[in-house]
A and B are shown apart, each in its own frame.
Chain A
């Protein structure tokens, strides 16, 4: 990580001494003067402020009266939350989903601690935020069509929040600070705690039960509030475990382990949630493990030899031969895993001179190969084994889970693919350049829907029977290819912004093209491409809503078509769509914030 911590692009080198200390902060104006200086500095500015305020108030009022109109069927959304999240995932298997969530929370807690996330904010700042928050609540309450009683209750809440904030601001001296993680924890505890005391109601919608709708007053069902409480505790425990690890181990080992775990997490969890293969142990012992062992031993020995600096030119020839053999393997009938292993071995063999070195470097390289081989063998074996999870219908997962699965996998897969395409398109080798350009231009010239439809028809033909993932896998593959083409163009912009001087400096110290690319060009190019890349990720996330067209039930489709078809909730589209928009917005806004933080952190080298 530390290599990437400072991907600055100090392209226009300046020659003067650059001050390293931050400039003194401009003193904050008191609120009254700030308002005067910024909102009412001139007659024109004052008119603008007044007009804008009126428009904003009118819009807010409209929105509030829409949301809190007694005619709104928010019951439809509340009752169908399970449908929105996971569609038809069998209830008795929910434990899998909770375990998957717990894994994510554990990794998050550990990472927060190991990377020392969070910072200290002065308590007076917290107070100021609370004051603003309370004021906003009060304003919204006054604009909303509440009954007198509700208005009074909410106003009391707003005044309490604002008063607390003001007290913090005035009474606590400026030196006192609080960790942002602490604030986060208080907020989350409040939310989870509220599940136990506030009567949100106990809502479910079940097709195969009468009455199908359950909407009882009272607190949230135990099957929801208990798991969420456990999740919060798990995250907190993981955080303290992370601190324990951080204090006792050197920095790098836990970080690398965590990064690997994050990379392994999506396929593992997908597996946990969607599959429960019944392994044919005879086949595993008799075929899969021997193939793995042969590749592990022979491939390991070959790579160890190739990564020896003394091997020299003959190594490149051998690596090229392995590649030819791998391609040839696709022309002759044999097991897919044998071909795939061969292809990966060829990739490792070709890269061997770049990573060659002493015994330690070679050992690491061979371990990398063994790890990769092991994971790949496991995945292929597992995917080729029928699942014992009994599920109704064809697509038993949908809703937000499906949206997230498709988005995460598409982003994760299309990233390396897009990088490779961008590098190929800018490389000196005409063949690569031509292929990449054709691919990109073809994909960009075709609507995404056609690609999705094509893959949803074709891919299931290649998958073994008993796999429930056919459509989802197809969509992920097609969508990844589509996304990679666009991603490649974003990265290409970054690649072109790396100056010729940087290339020459890397070449002048004798780096090979691949070393130059990995250590010098890509880090700088990616730093420049962060904003368009994150924009692209946000686009990928939102456009999963097109999955409905090929018959998958993404969260928006459920909201706009499935729920309004339930006889109990006819015509509830408006409410559902508003709710789903909120879900989309929360995710996209977080990505956007993450991008800004990443930019700030990687901008380190620019100072």
Chain B
């Protein structure tokens, strides 16, 4: 069911991008998760291809965060299989560390390390996880900070930056690990409106550069413009998925229609 949807995605120019021959980056097979008796994920199955940009929509509490966090094992799924870049997520610590160093994640609350300067926030993991020499890691950290447009803030502490700048540092921190996949969980929800655009612009550029991305967001404009595929979730299930055109113009499911009518 998934490949059909992925077969005709559209990029922001409205042209279709054929990713059907691309490699499978993330494979979820009947993934389920419970919190106590509460079923947060209900047999999620889908495949995300290399370079694909997937936007996950859904009402609050529908399990979007839970799912995206399962993919780098911040949450542990209880049934089904998750395979990331050909490595299956099990309790084996080595697999988890390998997957995490290849999957970048950006959080709603930024979660920068407040006791470290911006440059150290970005270069810490390359130095200690990737084992790069400090000079090289700092040089690359500066390059990432330039990429997100704030090299001049490198020697400040996170608390001295605006929310938008902090979130850009968080993106740079994830990118510094040279990940193959980037996960974004409502990264603009905690930002003041005037700062949302600066963060979304960086994500757009990133998508165009060919990064595989999974984005949970409420920014419909971003979803329409950038997504190859939109996945709509409710109550832990995937209700509907398809290209932005399909999803926004003629959704098939009633629950999708209801959601869209509330949000648009």
Report if B237 contacts A (CB, 8 A): no
Report if A247 contacts B (CB, 8 A): no
Q: How far is the CA of A16 from the CA of B191 in the complex (A)?
A: 8
Report if A505 contacts B (CB, 8 A): yes
Which residues from B are CB-within-8-Å of A506?
113
Given A10-B158, A510-B101, A519-B128, also A527-B115 (CB < 8 A): yes
Identity of the chain B residue whose Cβ is nearest the Cβ of A312 in the assembled complex:
B94
Interface of B with A (CB < 8 Å)? 72, 74, 94, 97-98, 100-101, 103-105, 107, 109-117, 120, 124-125, 128-129, 131, 133, 156-163, 166, 170, 173-174, 177, 190-192, 195
Identity of the chain B residue whose Cβ is nearest the Cβ of A605 in the assembled complex:
B157
A606–B129 touching, CB < 8 Å: no
A515–B191 touching, CB < 8 Å: no
Which residues from B are CB-within-8-Å of A509?
100-101, 104, 124-125, 129, 173-174, 177
Q: How far is the CA of A470 from the CA of B97 in the complex (A)?
A: 49
Given A17-B162, A509-B100, A509-B101, also A502-B111 (CB < 8 A): yes
Residues from 503 to 552 in A contacting B, C-beta threshold 8 Å: 504-512, 515, 519-520, 523-524, 527
B177–A361 touching, CB < 8 Å: no
Total A-B Cβ pairs within 8 A? 124
Least CB distance from B82 to A in Å reads: 16
B131–A606 touching, CB < 8 Å: no
Other-chain residue from A3, A18, A354, A523 in contact with B159 (beta carbon distance below 8 A): A18
Q: How far is the CA of A510 from the CA of B96 in the complex (A)?
A: 8
Other-chain residue from B101, B116, B131 in contact with A357 (beta carbon distance below 8 A): B131
Q: How far is the CA of A18 from the CA of B105 in the complex (A)?
A: 25
Report if A248 contacts B (CB, 8 A): no
Which residues from B are CB-within-8-Å of A28?
none
Report if A444 contacts B (CB, 8 A): no
The 9 A-B residue pairs whose C-beta atoms are closest, nearest first, are A15-B163, A510-B101, A10-B114, A505-B111, A509-B125, A501-B111, A510-B100, A10-B159, A508-B105
Least CB distance from A353 to B in Å reads: 10
Inter-chain pairs besides A6-B117, A604-B157, 10 sampled, C-beta below 8 Å: A3-B120, A8-B115, A16-B163, A16-B192, A18-B160, A356-B131, A499-B111, A504-B111, A508-B103, A509-B104
A511–B109 touching, CB < 8 Å: no
Q: How far is the CA of A343 from the CA of B157 in the complex (A)?
A: 40
Tell me if A's interface is mostly helix, strand, loop or mixed: helix
A502–B113 touching, CB < 8 Å: yes
Interface string of A1-18 (1 = CB under 8 A from B): 001101111110111111
B129–A13 touching, CB < 8 Å: no
Identity of the chain A residue whose Cβ is nearest the Cβ of B121 in the assembled complex:
A505
Q: How far is the CA of A508 from the CA of B117 in the complex (A)?
A: 19
Given A16-B162, A356-B131, A509-B174, also A11-B114 (CB < 8 A): yes
Report if A277 contacts B (CB, 8 A): no
Identity of the chain A residue whose Cβ is nearest the Cβ of B72 in the assembled complex:
A508
Which residues from A are CB-within-8-Å of B116?
3, 6, 605
Other-chain residue from A13, A358, A508 in contact with B110 (beta carbon distance below 8 A): A13
Other-chain residue from A10, A360, A605, A606 in contact with B133 (beta carbon distance below 8 A): A360
Other-chain residue from A313, A357, A507 in contact with B74 (beta carbon distance below 8 A): A507
B174–A504 touching, CB < 8 Å: no
Q: How far is the CA of A361 from the CA of B130 in the complex (A)?
A: 13
Q: How far is the CA of A354 from the CA of B127 in the complex (A)?
A: 11
B159–A607 touching, CB < 8 Å: yes
Q: How far is the CA of A70 from the CA of B159 in the complex (A)?
A: 60
Q: How far is the CA of A370 from the CA of B133 in the complex (A)?
A: 23
Q: How far is the CA of A360 from the CA of B129 in the complex (A)?
A: 16
Other-chain residue from B104, B131, B160, B177 in contact with A20 (beta carbon distance below 8 A): B160
Report if A564 contacts B (CB, 8 A): no
B157–A6 touching, CB < 8 Å: yes
Sample 19 A-B pairs with CB under 8 A, ordered by A number.
A3-B115, A4-B115, A6-B117, A8-B114, A9-B115, A14-B163, A15-B195, A358-B131, A358-B133, A504-B74, A505-B107, A507-B74, A508-B100, A508-B105, A509-B173, A509-B174, A510-B177, A605-B115, A607-B160
